[in-house]
Amino acid sequence: MSPPILAVHGWGFDPAFWTPMLDRLPDFKAERVDLGFRGEPRIPKVARPLILAHSMGLAWALTNIPRPWAGVLAVNAFPRFTRSPQFVEGVPPRMIERMVARFSSAPAEVTAEFLGRCGVESPDVATIRPDPLRKALVWLAGCDQRSALKMLGCPLLALAGTLDPIVPQAMSIAGFPPECLVLAEGGGHLLPLTHPDWTASQLRAFAARLRW
């Protein structure tokens, strides 16, 4: 029997992001967090979950989901996003600052541009909720969950794309222990959508090794 999955999407997305991957795992029990970017926020209570987190979803889960966890599968994710003297592989803070500055007057445009950079074709931003998105951007600018990641107390597997335009390969290498990181050659920022069979098989094999 496998641990229950608690899936956390990233910025600009919603729980439907996980459908292609989770459809390939029908024998797993899965709940999905809704961060409220397109619908009402929802955080299911799951005892000792296997956290499945995409992009910003990992840092959010480390901040907000109580432990213990059975394990963590981080996909295109990071514990810290912006650059600092102790994390030179992060993105320049001014990138987030510019997004925040523009967001108040053009939330749909900023969101669509970001989703396009992620690899989403013709992003649909008709249903976005600007306030939660803006607050998450501001939070992301200063978020640093590297210490929390080191003190997890459960197994970790991180999947990253070598051609991810949002989370560069160097950031993934700096953010995770080498023995926990698996790189998808040529993969981008949307591995659960572009590589659903591979990501599902990685989760299945990882879950089989967990004790919970």
Residue-number span of the structural domain to which 40 is assigned: 5-208
Q: For residue 28, what pLDDT is reported? A: 97
- Check: CB of residue 72 under 8 Å from CB of residue 51: yes
Q: For residue 148, what pLDDT is reported? A: 97
The secondary structure of 69-127 as a DSSP string is -SEEEEES--SB-B-BTTBTTSBPHHHHHHHHHHHTT-HHHHHHHHHHHHT-SS---TT
Q: For residue 1, what pLDDT is reported? A: 76
pTM: 0.97
- CA torsion sign for 61, 66, 68, 70 is negative
All residue ranges of the chain with pLDDT < 50 are none
The C-alpha R_g of the chain, in whole angstroms, comes to: 16
Helix ranges, the chain (H): 19-22, 56-64, 93-103, 107-118, 130-142, 146-150, 169-175, 191-194, 196-208
In the numeric block, the tokens 């959010």 are attached to: 60
Q: How far from the centroid of its chain's Cα atoms is residue 112's Cα?
A: 18
- Check: CB of residue 114 under 8 Å from CB of residue 136: no
- Check: CB of residue 28 under 8 Å from CB of residue 49: no
Distances (CA, A) of 92 to 40, 51, 89, 189: 31, 28, 9, 18
Q: Which of 75, 81, 32 is nearest to 161 (CA)?
A: 75
- Check: CB of residue 103 under 8 Å from CB of residue 128: no
Number of separate domains in the chain: 1
Q: What is the CATH number of the domain that holds 70?
A: 3.40.50.1820
